[in-house]
Every structure is written in C-alpha cells, then in structure tokens.
Amino acid sequence: MSDLLELAVGIAREAGEMLLAKRPARPEVVQTKSSGTDVVTALDRASEDLIRQRIRAARPGDAILGEEGGETGEGRVRWVVDPIDGTVNFLYGLPEWAVSIAVEVDGEVVAGVVNAVPRGELFAAEKGGGAELLRDGAPAERLRCNGEVPLSEALIATGFGYLPARRAVQAQVLAHVLPKVRDIRRGGSAACDLCSVAAGRVDGYYERGVNHWDVAAGGLIAAEAGARLGGLRGRPAGSDMTVCAAPALFEELCDLLEPLDPERDA
Ligand code: IPD
C-alpha cells in the first residue's frame, strides 16, 4: 500500500469509528442545502472536521475538497472527501452509508477508500494496483466486477438527486430502463453503489447529478475491479451522467440511456 493510500485508510477508519460511536438514535438535521431533502447532520461536519485535521497534520501542503467545507489549499495533491455518503440513510439508521476519501495527484485519482462503516467493510484501491475489500479478521479480498452480463439480465443500481424537477426526469428515464433490465436497486449511497459494482453485488450503475466527492473514491475502486467508468457519448463521468459497468454492459447501458436524453432539464 502506498503512503497516501495507507493514510487515507487510517483516516477513513478513524472517522468511521467516531461516527459509529457518536451517532445518536435519531441524528438531528442542522442544515439543508440544494433542497429541503438535501440534509446535513452535525456528524457530517464533525466527520469532515476530523478528516481535514488528520490530513493537515500529516500533509499540510495538500489541497482538500470536502462536501461540507468546500475547497481549501492548493497543491499537486488534492484530497476529495465525502464525510458521510448516504446521509439520508445515516439519518434514518439504514446501514448503507460510508466515509469516502480519494486522493488526486495532478487531477488524477490515484487512491480511494470507501469505509462502509455499518457493514464493517472497507473498500480500497490504488491506480494500477487493483481493488480490495478489507474486513476485520479476514484476509483482504481482491475485487472483480461481473463481466459478460447482458443488459436484460443486469441488476442496475441508480440514485436520484435532491431537486424535484431533476427527480421528475429521473423517474421518466427509470420508467424506460426498468422493463429492460433484471431489476433496479436504489441503495442511497453512490460511493457504496460503485463498490457494489466492484464486488459484483450489482452489475452496473448510472446516475445523473452526483458530485465529485460522491464518486471519486468509488469510481477508482470500480475501475480497478475491471469496470468502465464514464459519461454518455464518450464523455468522462461527471455530474451530467456517471455510468459504471463491465465494458460490454457499459456500452449497452449507454445505448439505452442516450436516446432517453437523461441529462435534460425538466
Ligand atoms: C448522495 C448519495 C445518493 C445519491 C445522491 C448523492 P450524500 O450523497 O450518494 O446515493 O443518489 O446523488 O448526493 O448527499 O448522501 O452525500
């Protein structure tokens, strides 16, 4: 493990332990962002504060982009932090949430960690070094996404944004996708969805409107497990659209999505 990945793993573990220890039975919403459904809890902030402190202590010259604190610092190395991906699940006590930390060098993600805390699973990857699932007391498991799955037999994860107009378009797109695939899963954490692609727990994923911190680490983990990550019409993955699946299924998913114009405004 490189020093950067080791540091990211240590910090993601510490933040995860803090969140598990401090999560009250019903966490309180302290702020809403893009809409009334886009919530922040006190522990989103506490988790990001802890992560920022640990990064600064170890690597004071690095930049940090965090969901709650925005962009700070400059430098060739930038840390991309989602202190809780799946905040709505965290709020309700559902287990699908994670601490997500990616490290970029010159704009390229080179290391990623998704600590799926309630499940006791930590996913980690390094550019060119493959992806692994780490569980306490178990040997590291090398991850490989499912290959050779036709669209009609594919289990596809997706997610929805927080803006009502965006959701209306996403619902229309979903109505066309659902009859064409095995089934749909909406887990509530894009970072976990991408790790599920990596681990073969779903076959593919698509979503419009994700932020870089939602998918930076999980995207590398899925790619290192053999999946292709991108946008529609040959564009890179981004907030317009992020698609992830083994290469043949990725093509089939894009061919299905493109004519539906899922990037349109309502
Ligand atoms: C959200 C989750 C969700 C996805 C949303 C994201 P947050 O992140 O990843 O699965 O559908 O697009 O915004 O708000 O829990 O950090």
Return the ligand 1 atom nearest residue 86 CA: 15
158 lines ligand 1 (CB under 6 A): no
User: Would you say 64 and 72 are in contact if contact means Cβ atoms under 8 Å apart?
Assistant: yes
Query: What value does the mean pLDDT take over residues 251-261?
Result: 97
Query: What value does the mean pLDDT take over residues 224-252?
Result: 98
Phi then psi dihedrals of residue 104, to 5 deg: -110, 145
User: Would you say 177 and 184 are in contact if contact means Cβ atoms under 8 Å apart?
Assistant: yes
Q: What percent of the chain clears pLDDT 90, i.e. is strictly above it? A: 93
CATH 3.30.540.10 fits 3-142, yes or no: yes
Residue in this structure with the two tokens 């930049």, named with its chain if needed: 63
CATH tag, 151-260 = 3.40.190.80
Q: Count CB atoms within 10 A of the CB of residue 150.
A: 12
83 lines ligand 1 (CB under 6 A): no
Ligand 1 pocket test: pick from 115, 197, 214, 244 the residue with the most ligand atoms within 8 Å of its Cβ. 214
Return the ligand 1 atom nearest residue 190 CA: 9
Query: What pLDDT, on a 0 to 100 scale, did the predictor assign at position 265?
Result: 86
Among protein residues, the one with the nearest Cα to ligand 1's atom 2 is: 189
Query: What pLDDT, on a 0 to 100 scale, did the predictor assign at position 21?
Result: 96
Ligand 1 pocket test: pick from 189, 195, 197 the residue with the most ligand atoms within 8 Å of its Cβ. 189
User: Would you say 104 and 124 are in contact if contact means Cβ atoms under 8 Å apart?
Assistant: no
R_g over Cα of the chain: 17
Return the ligand 1 atom nearest residue 160 CA: 11
What is the domain partition of the chain in residue ranges? 3-142, 151-260
Query: What pLDDT, on a 0 to 100 scale, did the predictor assign at position 148?
Result: 87
Measure 95 CA to ligand 1 centroid, in angstroms.
14
Which run of H or E residues covers position 21?
Answer: helix 3-22
Measure 185 CA to ligand 1 centroid, in angstroms.
14
- pLDDT confidence bin for 58, thresholds 50/70/90: very high
4 lines ligand 1 (CB under 6 A): no
161 lines ligand 1 (CB under 6 A): yes
Strands 204-207 and 242-245: antiparallel
Contacts of residue 137, defined as CB under 8 A and 6 or more positions apart, other chains included, come to none
User: Does the pLDDT of residue 1 top 80, yes or no?
Assistant: no
The region that residue 233 occupies, defined by phi over 0 for left and psi between -120 and 50 for alpha, beta otherwise, is left
pLDDT tens digits for range 140-184: 999 999 998 999 999 999 999 999 999 999 999 999 999 999 999
The region that residue 187 occupies, defined by phi over 0 for left and psi between -120 and 50 for alpha, beta otherwise, is alpha
Using N-to-C axis directions, what is the helix angle for 164-177 and 247-257, rounded to 10°?
A: 110
203 lines ligand 1 (CB under 6 A): no
Verdict on whether the full-model pTM lies above 0.85: yes
Query: What pLDDT, on a 0 to 100 scale, did the predictor assign at position 39?
Result: 83
Which run of H or E residues covers position 219?
Answer: helix 212-224
96 lines ligand 1 (CB under 6 A): no
pLDDT tens digits for range 99-150: 999 999 999 999 999 999 999 999 999 999 999 999 999 999 999 999 989 9
Average pLDDT for the chain: 96
Sheet with 204-207, side-by-side order of all strands: 183-185, 155-158, 204-207, 242-245, 228-230
Residues belonging to the chain: 266
Query: What value does the mean pLDDT take over residues 16-39?
Result: 92
Rounded to the nearest 5 degrees, what angle is found at the Cα of 19, between the Cα atoms of 102 and 43? 85
